[in-house]
Amino acid sequence: MNKLEVRKPSSEAAWDMSFRQTGFWRYIAVLPTWLAASALFILMTMTFADVILRSLFGNPIESATELTRLLIAIIVFSSLPIISWKGNNIVVDLLDPLFSRRLAIIRDIAIDMTCGVILIWPAKRVWELAERARGFGDVTEYLNLPQHYIGWFIAVFTFLTALTFLARAILLILSAVKGPV
Amino acid sequence: MLISIVGLGVVLFLVFLRMPIALAMGLVGFAGYADIRGVRASISMVGRIIIDTSQDYGLSVVPLFILMGLFVNKGGLSKELYQVSYVFLGHLRGGLAMATIVACAGFSAICGSSLATAATMSKVAMPQMRKYNYDDSLSTASIAAGGTLGILIPPSVILVIYGLLTETSIGKLFIAGIIPGLLGVVLYLVAVRYTIIRNPKAGPAGERSSLVDRLQALRGVWAVLLLFFIVIGGLYGVLNIWPLNLTFSPTEAAGMGAAGAFLIAVSRGKLNFSKTLQVLIETVQTTAALFAVLIGAWIFSNFVNMAGLPEALRFLVSSAELSPMLVMLMILVIYLVLGCVFESLSMLLLTVPIFFPLVTSLGFDPIWFGIIVVVVTEISLITPPVGLNVFVLKGVIGDVSTATIFKGVTPFWIVDIIRLALLVFIPSIILYLPNSML
């Protein structure tokens, strides 16, 4: 069943990750999570304020559309490494019963490895596109923010997601070598 | 043509190996595109899609509606909705099962996911029906079936994604979902009634509630009903009363909904800082998972289009001289089968890029097709032997066998098929409201 919808509404588990981690790693994981959460809260408040200002005072927030785009990118990409680490990507686990435990571990290692490796190219490509935008000095329409900042952000977090998948694969290999999990 | 079929096969293979759907579609899309146009062109396409999708204004609807659903849920709505439905329907035979259906419909007016609706309502409705000695097969079936309404009654995450993917108006799609959703409620109530007539012991009547109780129960939900009215009314454009200009774009409607739900939950003292943070975190993570799949689907869809699959299908259909309706029925059967295996959203993302061009070229309305696809997906959620809603329910409740649930679900499944037939052959049931929009 897919993880996305089935996850219980009460999710104290939002903090947990399937691999145990020490304090240091916890902080590493918490920072982007908070960044994404704040971005979402700002998005909600801003949209609300925009509608109220527009409908009551005929005075909308002009840069709202632009900020919305920016916030969406932050929300999505700062969360990707963490959901990948927790294995919360949408998967089909219909055939799970067909895999033995050993086979499942081998399968998971192969999948995580593949995912990690194939994500490196898009990360590189997005970085190149950001550099190109920097070269042209592209800025956004209302706020004059340099376009390449968001490109860098997306590239870095795609790259981190790739690393996360690879780290998962390595941890799986280590724990498989050490003996039954 | 051949390469895209091979590609589709590889995606299915990888997905069944438990590869994240987003990456499976992205990888195959990239490789296939590279095979046709070269690696450089393909990587450019992928980079562009990642940057554009992650900054798409229209997509901001998704996190905001998810947020609204979670805030309302934290505010304790599921219990109150059930309470309201119960005080009005509980005294009828099978009344608790009917109350479950109505409460599910109410809940899905806030929440855009079927599985979440079923999981949430089972916690509230199941203990009540146990208390009144309801037959397990009827109680579980009413939750499983009622839960499917979640993706049709607006707001619906699936309809948003369909709208974005096909560039169909999301506002119109939402409005179009209302009548088919209500029709679903009515027909499900008929199914409960039918079950009771066949086996009166399955659902004994509860006590009649007094007028005072009824009014009191209504007090618990009026704020949320008002919120729903504002969100959907604003979308439909009926709130445009001078001097207020309350016509919302989907993003604005979602933002108003989320902020309103937040204020309601706060004013009831149901939210503190850590709970709010939890809701926000859950929303961003769900959103990120959805966007990942969406990006993958777009890459895959670019490949499929480049490989000419939609044209090939069109050619195949026209050279075989099939009637459009026959083609549509074939597509529906494919959806029904796939829906049993795939999670709804991934199925939609995988199939819409292939079928949509064909369907529109045959003269079908894009909004009508969106609703039909969602209704078929709903049906597949309770289709034996693999309907996902049934398994979610089994997971939450535990001590009921899936066979029992499927037995109870049968009448609901049959009325669903009747509803589908009605919607397919009388398109104006779907199209009346959206066509009357300004």
Chain A and chain B share a number of CB contacts under 8 A equal to: 225
Contact residues for B39 (Cβ-Cβ < 8 A; gap 6+):
none
What percentage of chain B reaches a pLDDT higher than 70?
99
- Compute CA distances B367 → B27, B152, B181, B430, B433, whole Å: 30, 13, 15, 8, 11
Cross-strand pairs, A139: A146
pLDDT of A72 reads: 94
CB distance B138 to B96 below 8 Å: no
The residue type of B317 is V
pLDDT of A11 reads: 34
d(CA B71, CA B261): 6
Nearest to B54 among A37, A54, A154 (CB): A154
Assess whether pLDDT exceeds 60 at residue B290: yes
Nearest to A5 among B54, B116, B293 (CB): B116
Average pLDDT over residues B162-180: 90
Nearest to B120 among A9, A84, A119 (CB): A9
Q: How many CB atoms lie within 10 A of CB B44?
A: 16
Minimal CA separation from B389 to chain A, in Å? 10
A67 shares contact with chain B (CB less than 8 Å) = no
For the stretch B347-374, pLDDT in tens is 888 888 889 989 999 999 999 999 999 9
Average pLDDT over residues B415-427: 94
CB distance B50 to B37 below 8 Å: no
Judged by CB atoms closer than 8 Å, whether chains meet at B64 and A9 is answered as no
Across chain A, mean pLDDT equals 81
Give this prediction's pTM.
0.85
Average pLDDT over residues B85-112: 86
What residues in B contact A44, CB-CB < 8 Å?
64, 67, 255, 258-259, 262
Apex A160 CA angle, A32 and B273, nearest 5: 15
Assess whether pLDDT exceeds 70 at residue A3: no
Contact residues for B143 (Cβ-Cβ < 8 A; gap 6+):
B100, B104, B118, B121, B122, B125, B126, B393
Assess whether pLDDT exceeds 60 at residue B326: yes
ipTM value, please give it. Answer: 0.84
Cross-strand pairs, A146: A139
- φ/ψ region of B360 (left if φ > 0, alpha if ψ in -120 to 50, else beta) reads alpha
Confidence of residue A180 (pLDDT cuts 50, 70, 90): low
Average pLDDT over residues B186-204: 90
Nearest to B16 among A2, A95, A151 (CB): A95
Judged by CB atoms closer than 8 Å, whether chains meet at A88 and B289 is answered as yes
Assess whether pLDDT exceeds 90 at residue A59: no
CB distance B187 to B119 below 8 Å: no
Structure tokens at B43: 């990587």
Domain spans in chain B, listed from the N-terminal domain onward: 60-436
pLDDT of B438 reads: 59
Average pLDDT over residues A107-116: 93
Residue of B nearest to A124 (CA): B47
Apex B312 CA angle, B160 and B34, nearest 5: 75
A128 shares contact with chain B (CB less than 8 Å) = yes
Assess whether pLDDT exceeds 80 at residue A1: no
Average pLDDT over residues A111-130: 93
Assess whether pLDDT exceeds 80 at residue A9: no
Contact residues for B240 (Cβ-Cβ < 8 A; gap 6+):
B246, B247
Confidence of residue A181 (pLDDT cuts 50, 70, 90): very low
Assess whether pLDDT exceeds 70 at residue B308: yes
